[in-house]
Amino acid sequence: MRGKHLGTLTVGALLLAPLAACSDPGGPPSPTPNGAVRAIAFLDLNGDGRIDSGEPGAAGITVSLALAAGGTSHWKATTGGDGSALLLDIPPARYRLLVDSASVGDTLRLLSVDSSTFTVRAADTTTIVAAISFPRLSIQEARETRSGRKLFIEGIALTGQSAFGDGSMHVMDATGAIRAIRVAAGPAQPGDSVRILAVRSEQSGQPVLSDALVFLLKRGVLPAPVKVTTAEAATAKGGTLDAAYVTAEATTLLDVRQTPGGSVVLTVDDGSGPAEINLGNGQGSALLVGAKVDVAGVLVPTDNVPGRWQIRPFREVDLKIHFDSATIADARRQSPGRTVQVAGVALTGWATFADGTLHLQDATGAIRAVQVGQANVFAGDSIALVGTVAIVNGQPVLTGGRVTVRKQNVGLPAPKVVTTAVAKTADGGELDAAAVRVAGVIKDTLSAPSGQFLMSVDDGTGPVEVLIEPTTGLRRPTLVPGASVDVGGVLVPVTTGAYWQIKPRTPTDLIVR
């Protein structure tokens, strides 16, 4: 409001102030006792149309009266320093209070008058309140208006005021969405109806509302997100979905990286083109490339890449990670780099060989998992394991595995009884990683400085090597050439992949007869 003085408004003082003649002496004469109208104009700082504590009177506002039935206004006055004006000698009738927009200025607007029409009674004073405030725009209008303009918007909070810890929140109405920045702390939560007083600004090339004051109108429920492809999310659909709440489903995780500022950023693609998910300073180390990702969040422009947006989840339920489930036989046939989830019985515990490997078996076969994160898994547990297919020593394995124990101690499956020759070739690779058992005679033995013990066992079909790890607790004094033994364990290929060794797991896997 240009050139206006806003005095301090006290409603009681306004109502009790002495009457000052402000009526137009040129008004029509009345044959009956007349009344008066007290007009109060105030600066409505929260846009609710009511005088609240701390809201000042609006001085210099020109008001006038017109008959409700129509006609020319004959009574006019201007509000004083306290925001009030008194119009005297008003004939009894129904009237409308008019506010001269030119006296309000080009920054403020008449927000409301508390009665569209009212009755003036003889020898009585009628009080009418006019709320002067900043313009109230739709979000689309706010996005299109000039920078620097102070205004109100109303809408649904998509994020709370503390969602990202950076003083920002997202708001939508029927016309679109917008970000508010430098938001004062408050109680608004996702789904609440809010009114925001802020200055139209720009950030990262997009309209925003800055230095925002948020007024809670009503608690509510978060609306459903807009479904988009990853390509649409990356550009906010040409900018038309800037700040909107969106969801992208059935995407594949291509990359996990951490920015210099510590934010974890995921790259995902649903086949339409890649998009980024910014988790802030969240946990991303446990995410595996190849995982399936369903994500919801608000679209935020990327500061250093014009024309690109990131999806910013703001609730735990907004990010769902899952994996393609496969049988072990299917997993062994997958191309390297594919992340899958398999389920079965653990043939070894996580600490059995102290090298971060697990052997897992289902009805279709067995597989080794290597570089498995520490897990409280024991042989005989029912587990699910997520890992990435790779080739190690010529055989498919799952790397970087993450384990979930479904049920403890369901029991170990019986090992497959084979000849020593079949064990050496893992039956042409079909028994790779499987649990087997052989019976034969020790041909020779060899101790290694690392504490490992290697012996050759032959049942007459051809020798197979048995590698005993020091972690298994097997006693070796009786393991001498010529001794007859029953040996169980899992089959592991040697480094060159040319043949397999049997690795016993516990003392019960080796019996000297």
CATH number at residue 107: 2.60.40.10
Boundary-marking domain end, from 338, 372, 407: 407
Q: Quick one: pLDDT at residue 3?
A: 38
Number of domains in the chain: 5
Q: Are residues 391 and 429 in the same domain?
A: no
CB 430 within 8 A of CB 509: no
Taking the complete model, does pTM exceed 0.95, yes or no? no
Which residues make Cβ contacts (< 8 Å) with residue 449, sequence separation at least 6? none
Closest CA to 471 of 436, 506, 443: 506
Boundary-marking domain end, from 104, 133, 162: 133
Q: Quick one: pLDDT at residue 32?
A: 55
Closest CA to 416 of 388, 436, 402: 436
Cα 465 to Cα 331, 449, 504, distances in angstroms: 27, 18, 11
Closest CA to 368 of 496, 427, 350, 410: 350
**DSSP characters for 406-454?**
EES---PPPPEE--HHHHHHTTTTTTTT-EEEEEEEEEEEEE-TTS-EE
Q: Are residues 331 and 317 in the same domain?
A: no
Q: Are residues 35 and 107 in the same domain?
A: yes
Closest CA to 251 of 234, 236, 230: 230
Q: Are residues 178 and 92 in the same domain?
A: no
Q: Does some domain include residue 5?
A: no
Q: Are residues 386 and 361 in the same domain?
A: yes
SS3 167: coil
Q: Are residues 17 and 116 in the same domain?
A: yes
Q: Are residues 459 and 439 in the same domain?
A: yes
What are phi and psi for residue 26, nearest 5 degrees? -85, 5
Cα 302 to Cα 338, 357, 434, 451, distances in angstroms: 29, 41, 50, 55
The label of the residue with tokens 């000698």 reads: 89
SS3 24: coil
Q: Does some domain include residue 100?
A: yes
SS3 80: coil
Q: Quick one: pLDDT at residue 284?
A: 58
CATH number at residue 318: 2.40.50.140
Q: Are residues 99 and 166 in the same domain?
A: no
CA 152/CA 199 separation, integer angstroms:
9
Q: Does some domain include residue 240?
A: yes
Structure tokens at 192: 């609440």
Q: Are residues 397 and 420 in the same domain?
A: no
One pLDDT digit (tens) per residue for the chain, 513 residues:
333 433 333 333 333 333 333 444 444 544 558 999 999 999 999 999 999 999 999 999 999 999 998 877 779 999 999 999 999 999 999 999 999 999 998 899 999 999 989 999 999 999 999 999 999 999 999 999 999 999 999 999 999 988 898 899 999 999 999 999 999 888 899 999 999 999 999 999 999 999 999 999 999 999 999 999 999 999 999 999 999 999 999 999 999 988 888 889 999 999 999 999 999 886 655 577 778 899 999 999 998 788 999 999 999 899 998 888 899 999 999 999 888 899 999 999 999 998 899 999 999 999 999 999 888 999 999 999 998 899 999 999 999 888 989 999 999 999 999 999 999 999 999 999 999 999 999 999 988 777 889 999 999 999 999 999 888 877 776 789 999 999 999 999 999 999 999 999 998 999 988
| Domain with 268 in it | 226-322
Q: Are residues 183 and 117 in the same domain?
A: no
Boundary-marking domain end, from 352, 379, 407: 407
Q: Are residues 201 and 152 in the same domain?
A: yes
